[in-house]
């Protein structure tokens, strides 16, 4: 079946502009995760959703970053007033379920490479 898809694959923007990154999870996966991969910081967890709610936003680097998920499916990560340090690859992952006492595996999309000039 189809895996996690992300769009766009590449995004170049000017400093100060807003950007939206999209993630389509694997069909039926209720949990969705955003990560950022940069040369200096490696892979960092940003936020996860269970259904449409986000119990853990602890990884969002600043209040310029926000994310939403609608219909328990597609998610959008928005970065307002982009800065050069926001340049990175943004990865999305999804997993089948999140229930207490169960185990889970995250499946990753190909990522969106964001370049802020």
53 contributes a contact to other proteins by CB under 8 A:
no
11 contributes a contact to other proteins by CB under 8 A:
no
Query: Could you write out the DSSP letters of every residue in 10-51?
Result: EEEE-TT--EEEEEEPPTT--EEEEEEEETTTEEEEEEEEET
Query: Which residues make beta-bridge pairs with 114?
Result: 11, 88
Phi-psi map region of 111: left, alpha, beta (phi>0 left; psi -120 to 50 alpha): left
1 contributes a contact to other proteins by CB under 8 A:
no
109 contributes a contact to other proteins by CB under 8 A:
yes
3-state secondary structure (DSSP) of residue 103: coil
- 88-107: contacts with other proteins (CB under 8 A): 91, 93, 95, 97-98, 101-107
CB 19 → other proteins: shortest distance, Å? 19
- Give the total of residues touching other proteins (CB under 8 A): 30
66/5 Cα distance (integer angstroms):
19
Cβ-proximal residues to 29 (8 Å cutoff; 6+ apart), any chain: 94, 95, 96, 107
Q: Which stretch binds other proteins (CB under 8 A): 18-26, 35-43, 62-70, 74-82?
A: 35-43
116 contributes a contact to other proteins by CB under 8 A:
no
CB 105 → other proteins: shortest distance, Å? 6
Residues that bind other proteins (CB under 8 A): 4, 31, 33, 35, 42-48, 56, 58-59, 91, 93, 95, 97-98, 101-111
């Amino acid at each position: 079946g189809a895996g996690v898809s992300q769009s766009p694959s590449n995004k170049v923007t000017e400093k100060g502009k807003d950007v939206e990154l999209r993630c389509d999870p694997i069909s039926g996966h209720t949990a969705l995760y955003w990560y950022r991969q940069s040369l200096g910081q490696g892979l960092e967890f940003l936020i996860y959703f269970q259904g449409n709610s986000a119990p853990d936003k602890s990884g969002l680097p600043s209040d310029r970053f926000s994310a939403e998920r609608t219909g328990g499916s597609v998610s959008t990560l928005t970065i307002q007033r982009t800065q050069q340090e926001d340049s990175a690859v943004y990865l999305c992952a999804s997993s089948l379920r999140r229930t207490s006492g169960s185990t889970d595996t995250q499946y990753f999309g190909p990522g969106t490479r964001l370049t802020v000039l």
